[in-house]
């Protein structure tokens, strides 16, 4: 396939300024483009009818990676996730950032007026001991503060000399990992670049379930050193969680999608149709800042996650 790199997540929000306060004010991303679209262009890009839209593109300086914010007008009243059921599946849940100095990172979060959940997880993996805290921000967007050995984490991020790295990954709990992995392989040409297991009870408390959790994760991408998609199964019994697939659509608010840059968008669109994916927004040519004229298609995986493919 032809994926060049995964840029990062797409967030649908009620207030772009509130999201910028988090991602610029805390995580250090910077605005690189801003654009407004009429109803016709909004439908072309994201398959949403009867709404205008405004988008702001943020990136971590010195990298190609970041976050796209979209505010649809009118704003959807539906928020995809709920903090009381943070273990629900089939929708993107968390954007991960590495923090070399956890104490300094937590202080930066507090100075910006945000707060981690009281529950945090500490667990041992092959690379050493790790810390994970979650920040539930505007539109119930979850960001994770990951701490761990710098020697190990340097394989996963390029920015290690600031309070926070670039976007390391965006993860989704899923009900059917095998089908999701087949989608990434056959439609996008991505593979498992890392996998791990967490059985520590503190992680169950972090995500808010009273059931015993046995997390199994497979990270899918092009390499460890670029953003990737985390495919997670919490190991919870049937009935202990629900699927958010019906809610995880534009223009509903939250982490709805991911952006991938490709060299042959037509090939991916054909592979998506052959796999049986929903085509959210068919292949089209649009002007998208800061890239100029691009070809784009938006496809939906079996776990409800939308993927916008862009060929400059």
Q: Is there a contact between 299 and 1 (Cβ–Cβ < 8 Å)?
A: no
Q: Is there a contact between 160 and 248 (Cβ–Cβ < 8 Å)?
A: no
Q: What is the pLDDT of residues 170-218, one digit of tens each?
A: 999 999 999 999 999 999 999 999 998 887 777 777 777 777 777 789 9
Q: Which residues contact 57 (CB under 8 A, 6 or more apart)?
A: 31, 32, 33, 34, 66, 67, 68, 69, 289, 290
Give DSSP secondary structure letters for 65-123. Answer: -EEEEEEEESPPS-BS--GGGTT-BSS--EEEEE-SSHHHHHHHHHHTT----S-EEEE
Q: What is the pLDDT of residues 116-164, one digit of tens each?
A: 998 888 888 888 998 999 999 999 999 999 999 999 999 999 999 999 9
3-state secondary structure of 233: strand
- Residue 1, pLDDT score: 67
- Going across the sheet that includes 66-73, the strands are 30-37, 52-59, 66-73, 3-12, 254-262, 306-311, 292-300, 278-288
pTM for this model (two decimals): 0.95
Report percent pLDDT > 90 for the chain.
Answer: 83
**Calpha distance 185→226 (Å, rounded):** 17
Strands (E), the chain: 3-12, 30-37, 52-59, 66-73, 94-98, 120-125, 128-136, 142-147, 167-173, 191-198, 215-221, 228-233, 254-262, 278-288, 292-300, 306-311
Q: What is the pLDDT of residues 231-263, one digit of tens each?
A: 998 878 787 788 999 999 999 999 999 999 999
Beta pairing, strands 94-98 & 142-147: parallel
The pair phi, psi for residue 197, each rounded to 5°, is -130, 135
């Amino acid at each position: 396939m032809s994926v060049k790199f995964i840029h990062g997540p797409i967030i649908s929000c009620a207030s772009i300024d509130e999201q910028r306060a988090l991602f610029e004010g805390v995580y250090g991303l910077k605005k690189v483009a801003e654009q407004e679209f009429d109803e016709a262009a909004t439908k072309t890009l994201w398959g949403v009818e009867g709404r205008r839209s405004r988008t702001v593109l943020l990136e971590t300086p010195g990298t190609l990676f970041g976050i796209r914010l979209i505010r649809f007008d009118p704003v959807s009243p539906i928020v995809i996730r709920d903090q009381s059921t943070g273990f629900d599946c089939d929708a993107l849940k968390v954007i991960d950032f590495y923090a070399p100095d956890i104490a300094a990172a937590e202080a930066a979060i507090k100075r910006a007026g945000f707060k981690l959940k009281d529950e945090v997880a500490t667990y041992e993996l092959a690379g050493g001991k790790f810390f994970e805290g979650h920040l539930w921000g505007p539109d119930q967007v979850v960001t994770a503060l990951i701490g761990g050995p710098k020697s190990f984490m340097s394989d996963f991020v390029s920015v290690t000399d600031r309070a926070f790295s670039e976007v390391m990954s965006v993860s989704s709990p899923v009900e059917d990992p095998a089908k999701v992995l087949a989608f990434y392989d056959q439609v996008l040409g991505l593979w498992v670049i890392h996998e791990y297991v967490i059985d520590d009870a503190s992680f169950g408390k972090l995500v808010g379930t009273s059931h015993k959790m046995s997390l199994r994760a497979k990270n899918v991408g092009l390499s460890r050193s670029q953003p990737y998609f985390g495919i997670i199964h919490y190991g919870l019994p049937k009935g202990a969680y629900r699927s958010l697939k019906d809610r995880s659509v534009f223009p509903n608010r939250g982490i709805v999608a991911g952006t991938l840059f490709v060299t042959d968008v037509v090939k991916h669109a054909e592979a998506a149709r052959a796999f049986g994916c929903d085509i959210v927004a068919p292949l089209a040519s649009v002007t998208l800042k800061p890239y100029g004229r691009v070809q784009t298609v938006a496809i939906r995986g079996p776990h409800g996650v939308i993927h916008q493919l862009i060929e400059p």
